[in-house]
Amino acid sequence: MGLAGRSTAAPLSPRALAARVPAEALVVSLVAVAMVLGYELPRHHIKLGAPVPPFYAFPHPRVTAWTPVAALATIGLAAAAPALMRLPRPWWIAGATLAALAARVALNVSRFGPDELVRPLVGRIGSHDYLPTVPLFLADPVGYLDGFAERIATGLPIHPSAHPPGATILLAALDRIGAGGPWPEAALILVAGAAATPIVYLLGCTLAGERPARAATLAWAFAPAVLLESATSMDAVFATAGAGAALLVVRGGTGPAAAATVGCSFLSYALPAAAVWAGIVVWMRRGLREALSLAVAAALAAAAAYLVLWLVAGFDPVAAYVNTKHHYEHGVSHFRPYWYWVFGDPAAFLAGLGVPVAFAYARALGARTAPAVALAAVVVLAAASGFAKAEVERIWQFLVPLAVLAAATEIEHMRLRPVLVALAVQAVAVEVLFGTTW
C-alpha cells in the first residue's frame, strides 16, 4: 500500500507554482523581506546606505500646530474626492487637478508650516539643488552646455550632476521672466506636478476606460509617494513629462511621441523609461511592428536633436552620462550594496504606492495585463541596472502614475473612499514620524 498510496502527480514547474501563489502574497513577501533585512542588517553593522532601508527617510517624529491642520486637510480631501467622480469631464478634470494640488500643499506644511514648501530649495539642503546652477548657465549658456560633462566631475551640486541640464535651463527661463528663486521654483513644482492629473486621466481612458481612469487618477493623486515627495522635488515635474510621453506613445502619434521622449531624456536619464513602458504596452496590445516603428522614430529623433545640440553648443550627451555614472558609482552608490537594493528598490516603490494600490497592482500583475507586465519589466530593469539604489520614492515618481493606471480596473472595483482615505492616512503617518529631504 506504501507505493499505491503515494501521489503520482508530476512536480509543479516553477511557472505553474508561481501561478498558484497569489501575486498579493509575492508583493507582501518582497516588502516584508526588504523591511526585515533593512532593520536587522544595520544592527549587525552591515551598512545599506539609507537611514531606514529600504526607505530613504530619517526617524524624526515631529508634531507642531500645523500638524493637525495638515492631517485633517489631507484626509478630508481624500474623503471628499470621490464626489468628483460624478462630474462632467471638464469639471472632473478641473476638480481632480485642484484636489491633487491642494493635497500636496496641505500635507507638506505639517512639520514647519508654509516655509516647508521651500526648505529643500534653500540653505544647506538647497545647495544640492538646481538653483545654484542657474547663474552659471545664465552667465554663459553655450559655455555651460559645452563644458557640462567636465563640470560633473569638478563640482556641480548633487542633483544637477546626476541629471541632464534640462531642469537648470527650465529654471533659468523662469529667472529670465523675473520669476527666479526658491518660491517660483516651488510654485513650478506644485503646479506642473499637479498638471499631470489630466494627462494621467487621458492615459487611463485610453488604457482602461472612463470610470477606471477617474478612480486611478484619484488614487495616484493621494498615493503616499506622490503626496510626500512631489511638493518640493523637481521629480514631480519630470513625472508630468513622463506621463505626457507615455500618453503620446500609447496613442500612436509617432512624431509627437518621439519628440516628447527626446525632451524627457534632456530632463532625466531615467525618464525615457516611461516611453519604454508605453512601447511595451503597444507591443503587447497592437504588435511588435508598431512598437518598433515608435522606437526607431524616437532613436532617430534623439540622434538628430543631440547632434544639433552638439554642433551648436558643444553639448556631449554621451560624455555627460558616462561622467554622471562614474560620479554615482564612486559616490553614494559605493555604500549601497547591489544585492540588497536590487529587491529593496522595488519593495520601497511598491510600499510608496500605498497598501491598497500595491495590492491592486499585484492583482493586475497576476492577471498579466499589458500595463502591469510592462511596469514590472521596467522596474526589474531599473533595479537590475544598479543606477537607482535607494530614494526610489522620489526618483521613480514618474512610474507611480503608470503603476496606478496598471491597477485601474482593480481600483475601480474597490470602495474608492476607504482606499483614498487609507492612502492619505499612510502618507500622514509617514510625514509625522519621519523626516525626508523633500
pLDDT at 438: 82
Cβ atoms within 10 A of the Cβ of 17, count? 10
257 domain residue, yes or no: no
pLDDT at 330: 84
79 domain residue, yes or no: yes
Closest CA to 126 of 88, 181, 176: 181
What's the grid cell of residue 134? 542657474
Query: Does the bond joining 54 to the residue before it have cis omega, within 30 degrees of 0?
Result: yes
What's the grid cell of residue 398? 514618474
Contact yes or no for 407/86 (Cβ under 8 A): no
CA–CA distances in Å: residue 246 to residues 47, 76, 172:
37, 31, 26
Rounded-to-integer distance, Cα 241 and Cα 166, Å: 12
274 domain residue, yes or no: no
Helices (H), 314-407: 317-329, 338-352, 355-366, 370-385, 392-395, 400-406
- Residue 361 belongs to what domain range? 24-236+316-435
pLDDT at 4: 38
Rounded-to-integer distance, Cα 231 and Cα 224, Å: 12
248 domain residue, yes or no: no
276 domain residue, yes or no: no
pLDDT at 19: 53
Closest CA to 74 of 113, 117, 98, 108: 108
Number of structural domains (the chain) is 1
In this prediction, the residues of the chain whose per-residue pLDDT falls under 70 are: 1-21
CA–CA distances in Å: residue 350 to residues 260, 333, 359:
27, 21, 9
Rounded-to-integer distance, Cα 124 and Cα 121, Å: 9
pTM of the model: 0.94
pLDDT at 154: 82
245 domain residue, yes or no: no
Rounded-to-integer distance, Cα 339 and Cα 360, Å: 27
205 domain residue, yes or no: yes
Rounded-to-integer distance, Cα 143 and Cα 150, Å: 11
280 domain residue, yes or no: no
